[in-house]
Amino acid sequence: SQQGEEDPQALSIQEGENATMNCSYKTSINNLQWYRQNSGRGLVHLILIRSNEREKHSGRLRVTLDTSKKSSSLLITASRAADTASYFCATLYSSASKIIFGSGTRLSIRP
């Protein structure tokens, strides 16, 4: 399977702390995307990072990409209760025409 793998599978932190999630993949990619899914809802696109980029920011989100290690990380700073959700990475492999989703990280923010 070419599916990306998120790590950890579940993460519980205190409100205000930073949350870091990781994604590893197997072969060369064109881009990598991060999505959020609130319970019982569809996925929402958060950020896209291209293979020639190393870091990207969007508000409290910071994404890094290390193509030599075939990995990406999503950092959420100053977490809030509303950040409680599942987070998925999705990769567009150079050899494929569709993106492939990982199995996700469940993030819980404790008040």
Partner 1 sequence: DVKVTQSSRYLVKRTGEKVFLECVQDMDHENMFWYRQDPGLGLRLIYFSYDVKMKEKGDIPEGYSVSREKKERFSLILESASTNQTSMYLCASSYGHSNQPQHFGDGTRLSIL
For residue 97, the cross-strand partners are none
For residue 108, the cross-strand partners are 12
Cα–Cα dist 38/87, whole Å: 9
Residue in 23, 72, 79, 102 binding partner 1, rule: CB under 8 A: 102
Could you give the maximum distance between any two Cα atoms of the chain, in Å?
A: 44
Q: Which stretch binds partner 1 (CB under 8 A): 16-24, 55-63, 64-72, 92-100?
A: 92-100
Site string for partner 1, 37-76 (x = CB under 8 A): ---xxxxxx--x----------------------------
* Minimum distance of partner 1 from residue 5's CB (angstroms): 9
Half-sphere exposure of residue 59: CA atoms within 13 angstroms, side-chain side: 6
For partner 1, the binding residues (CB under 8 A) are 3, 30-31, 33, 40-45, 48, 88, 90, 92, 97-104
